[in-house]
């Protein structure tokens, strides 16, 4: 394994570490919002600060690894563009509430299908569009990931590179597929800019 490949693996490992801490931070922030005990809130404040410091440290390590990757690469090798600093979740202005759901992870081990199930949670808010038309919007956390495949991957196509970091801001997504009633309710609202009909 080349030094460039080792550095890329370290970057991927650090990104996974960042994701784990970010999920923890999101969970602690949610607990802080619904907690009523002042003493517990103080402890949660400390935990939030610790998570934020840990994220900052990981981001600094990512920058150092990226610099090392840039220094180690030669003109003929593909290098990752400098990552955009991971976005932190903004303090929500919407009143959200938590809900639990089941996550299924599917993998193949020894030629057989294995399904692992676990409980997870997310935040959501309810949007009333009138006439009993309700939309449940789930908060999707932001983060960064590496898009594209490495040059060393078998059967790699030219349009799969170069690898680069992509930063995604937190956003909300519908909890369920949109119904016709919901679509008609939203379509009846006043137009907003830009006029997306021009893109059709």
Which pLDDT tens digits describe the chain residue by residue (200 residues)? 577 778 888 888 888 888 888 888 877 787 777 777 777 778 888 888 888 888 888 888 888 888 887 777 643 445 455 454 454 554 446 788 888 889 888 888 888 888 989 888 888 999 888 788 898 999 988 877 778 888 888 888 888 888 777 878 888 999 999 999 988 888 887 776 665 555 55
Task: Give the side-chain half-sphere CA count within 13 A for 182.
Answer: 13
What's the pLDDT score for residue 75? 39
Count other C-beta atoms under 10 Å from residue 12's C-beta. Answer: 14
Number of structural domains found in the chain: 2
What's the pLDDT score for residue 176? 92
In a domain, 121, yes or no: yes
pTM: 0.47
What's the pLDDT score for residue 179? 92
Please indicate, yes or no, whether residues 94 and 30 belong to a single structural domain of this protein: no
What's the pLDDT score for residue 138? 93
In a domain, 159, yes or no: no
Please indicate, yes or no, whether residues 99 and 59 belong to a single structural domain of this protein: no
Contact 165, 133 (CB under 8 A): no
In a domain, 64, yes or no: yes
Helices (H), the chain: 3-34, 38-72, 180-187
Please indicate, yes or no, whether residues 112 and 73 belong to a single structural domain of this protein: no
In a domain, 129, yes or no: yes
In a domain, 161, yes or no: no
In a domain, 119, yes or no: yes
- Final residue before a domain boundary, out of 44, 60, 80: 80
Domain span holding position 46: 1-80
Please indicate, yes or no, whether residues 72 and 113 belong to a single structural domain of this protein: no
Please indicate, yes or no, whether residues 16 and 61 belong to a single structural domain of this protein: yes
In a domain, 31, yes or no: yes
Contact 125, 96 (CB under 8 A): yes
Contact 136, 52 (CB under 8 A): no
In a domain, 165, yes or no: no
Q: State whether the Cα torsion 181-184-188-193 is positive or negative.
A: positive
Please indicate, yes or no, whether residues 75 and 102 belong to a single structural domain of this protein: no
């Amino acid at each position: 394994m080349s030094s460039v490949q080792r550095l890329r693996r370290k970057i991927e490992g650090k990104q996974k570490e960042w994701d784990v801490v970010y999920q923890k931070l999101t969970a602690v922030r949610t607990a802080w919002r619904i907690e009523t005990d002042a003493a517990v809130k103080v402890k949660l404040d400390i935990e939030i600060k610790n998570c934020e410091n840990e994220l900052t440290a990981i981001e600094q390590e990512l920058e150092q690894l990226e610099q090392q990757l840039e220094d180690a690469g030669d003109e003929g090798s593909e290098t990752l563009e400098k990552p955009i600093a991971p976005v932190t979740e903004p303090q929500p202005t919407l009143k959200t509430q938590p809900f639990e759901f089941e996550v299924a992870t599917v993998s193949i081990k020894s030629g057989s299908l294995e399904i692992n199930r676990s409980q997870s949670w997310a935040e959501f808010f309810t949007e009333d569009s009138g006439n009993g038309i309700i939309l449940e919007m789930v908060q999707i956390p932001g983060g960064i990931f590496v898009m594209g495949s490495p040059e060393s991957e078998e059967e790699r196509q030219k349009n799969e590179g170069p690898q680069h970091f992509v930063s995604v801001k937190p956003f909300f997504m519908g909890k369920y597929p949109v119904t016709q009633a919901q679509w008609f309710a939203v379509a009846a609202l006043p137009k907003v800019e830009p006029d997306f009909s021009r893109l059709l």
